[in-house]
Chain A
Amino acid sequence: MKRKSTSVQSTVQAYLFLAPALILLAVFSFWPVGYGTYLSFTKYNLISAPEWVGLDNYRELFDDELFLNSLKNSLLYLLCVPIIQVLSIALAVLVNNNLKGIKLFRAAYYVPVVTSVSVIGLMWNFMYNDEGILNSVLQALHMINEPIGFLSDDRIALFSVMFVTIWRGLGWYMVMYLAGLQAIPQDVYEAATLDGANGWQKFWKITVPLLMPTILLCSVLSTLAALKAFEEVQIMTQGGPSESTYTALFYAYQFGIKSLDFGRGLAASTIVALVCMALAWVNFRYLQPRQK
């Protein structure tokens, strides 16, 4: 009897410790999922009560060229994932070296990660300007005659924004991979060297397989990051030129926060959430190291 009461007591205690976190999670993480899904079936403008409209919002979304284009842009944004993965692994291998001053380089590569996205957007607007450094260099090299409208040409703008996303994320993934690399025991490499393996073989046969957990984690995280990208868009192009840089979440933001059409906005973000979960599942399914 006494045992039971102490265990009840310790359970209560455990939940008292957990209470603040659980309450905040319930309000700001779980409630939005449930209530958001419900509101996506309604017309709601924050002032009058939500009015149930069934699948109307979803139907409207899929009839809306702009949304379809936004969704396409969000999926196109996934191109960042393999690029970030390859570059950050290469970068991690490069800085996982006992060169003099290597810590300085690592720090330099991390600076964009600790810089606010609003300032990064501003700075790249300067870089991408018609008279900015990129156009000037390309013109000086006679590679182009006319300045490229990095952010004003609707065929290029989305890729310019994607480049900034890659640029500002690279250092973060580099550090993740660096931690992964440093966890690989050196004697595995030494044994392989004795067996006559060359650098390339060691990379593919040792580094990559042993890095798999990190590759899985980073690929899930960068997939989610690509799908949720919209701050860059909001700061650099506001969706333009001619709506060519709308991403699905930028669309949700425009309709939800800007036009107070929460039903439509939430239907769009529910679709993004579903895509996120589906792609996270795909990552786990195909990148999980096979158990022996």
Chain B
Amino acid sequence: MSSQTLTVNPASAQKPSLESMLRGKFGQRAIQYLVLSAIAIICLYPMWWTLVVSLSTTGNVYEFPPPLLPKGASIDNYAEVFKTINVMTFFKNSLAITILTLIGTIVVSSLAAYPLARMRFPGRNLVFSAILATMILPSEVNFLVNFITVSKLHLTDSYLGVALPNIVTAVNIFIMKVAFEQVPGDLIDAARVDGASEMQIFWKIMMPLALPALGAITILTTVTAWNQYIWPAIVMQSPDNFPLSVGVLYLSGAFSFKTRVVAAGAILTILPILIVFIFTQRYFLRGFDGAVK
């Protein structure tokens, strides 16, 4: 904080009262920052506490007041996570599930969005309404039948079984449709005159121009696929196939008395996605512009 703004010239006739200071522009700012910081602490404190505990090696875990920085900082707890559970396998599983879901989502939603945005055909409105209607029913309601379907298809305990039901979401198709609608019509007409097929138009004109939207669904899908918990927990039966989000609870179930180790496992689970978030946060924070309007 700069001291200049706080200094009150003693020679001036009177000191501003606390009330008038709070009414002033400076005071308003100060209150705003105070409120903003208080909320930030509520949002971030659980993560910070977990990080501190995971890096500490001495003292009571639930010491009060809790230390703001780790005591006896070391990565011993992390080493123990690696010894206790197969972190690298879980990591590989998370990665495989995420990549599979991501590729499927990009391909399937952009293919579906193209005719909805740019072609006239009978049943177009019906198809679009049907896609939007899936937003009303929570996918959790479908879990039981989807579990039956996945077991009948012999996809339990497989990456594909986790990924398949998550590939089509109305939101992603919607985002791509809005992006395709914004491509100038002249461009497409010119390509058609030159004899380009629909597939060529889609691949050579639409996709490159929709890169920002593709970026947005890439990030959204990556985060969702990495973080999902209940569906992979249902589909995956052998612990060797668990993604990190499920594996970390396995750790906590088996070693609940080792709070520091569990905390380290939690940090390892969220670290990759937090790094992705830090570099791409503007995509999240811009809001779902298209979807809201």
By a beta-carbon cutoff of 8 Å, the part of chain A in contact with chain B is 10-11, 13-15, 17-18, 20-22, 24-25, 27-33, 35-36, 39, 46, 91, 94-95, 97, 99, 102-103, 105-124, 126-127, 129, 131-133, 136, 140, 167, 170-171, 175-176, 178-180, 182-183, 213-214, 217, 220, 224-225, 227-228, 230-231, 234-235, 249, 252-253, 256-257, 262, 265-266, 269-270, 272-273, 276-277, 280
Q: Are A20 and B108 in contact (CB under 8 A)?
A: yes
Q: How far is the CB of B85 from chain A (nearest CB, A)?
A: 14
9 new A-B contacts, CB < 8 A, other than A17-B202, A32-B142, A108-B44, are A13-B198, A28-B142, A107-B285, A118-B246, A133-B45, A253-B143, A257-B143, A266-B144, A276-B138
Q: Are B168 and A25 in contact (CB under 8 A)?
A: yes
Contacts of B285 in A (CB 8 A): 103, 106-107, 110, 175, 178
How distant is the Cα of A124 from the Cα of B266 in the complex, in angstroms?
12
By a beta-carbon cutoff of 8 Å, the part of chain B in contact with chain A is 29, 32-33, 35-36, 39-40, 42-47, 49-50, 53, 60, 62, 64-66, 107-109, 111-112, 114-116, 119-122, 124, 127, 130-131, 134, 136-149, 151, 164-165, 167-168, 173, 198, 202, 223, 226-230, 234, 244-246, 248-249, 252, 259, 262-263, 266, 269-270, 273-274, 277-278, 281, 284-289, 292-293
Residue picked from A28, A94, A127, most chain B C-beta under 10 Å: A28
Among A21, A140, A224, A234, which residue has its beta carbon within 8 angstroms of that of B138? A224
The A interface, classified by DSSP as helix, strand, loop or mixed, is helix
Q: Are A119 and B164 in contact (CB under 8 A)?
A: no
How distant is the Cα of A127 from the Cα of B66 in the complex, in angstroms?
11
Q: Which residue of A lies closest to B60 (CB)?
A: A131
Among B44, B109, B147, B289, which residue has its beta carbon within 8 angstroms of that of A179? B289
Q: Are A176 and B288 in contact (CB under 8 A)?
A: yes
How distant is the Cα of A183 from the Cα of B168 in the complex, in angstroms?
29
How distant is the Cα of A228 from the Cα of B249 in the complex, in angstroms?
21
Q: Are B151 and A17 in contact (CB under 8 A)?
A: no
Among B121, B134, B259, which residue has its beta carbon within 8 angstroms of that of A29? B134
How distant is the Cα of A235 from the Cα of B252 in the complex, in angstroms?
10
Q: Which residue of B lies closest to A273 (CB)?
A: B141
Q: Are B46 and A105 in contact (CB under 8 A)?
A: no
Among B146, B234, B292, which residue has its beta carbon within 8 angstroms of that of A213? B292
Among B53, B136, B259, which residue has its beta carbon within 8 angstroms of that of A277? B136
A-B interface pairs (CB < 8 A), number? 268
Known A-B contacts A17-B115, A119-B266; A114 and B277 likewise in contact (beta carbons under 8 Å): yes
Known A-B contacts A25-B130, A126-B46, A179-B287; A31 and B145 likewise in contact (beta carbons under 8 Å): yes
Q: Are B277 and A111 in contact (CB under 8 A)?
A: yes
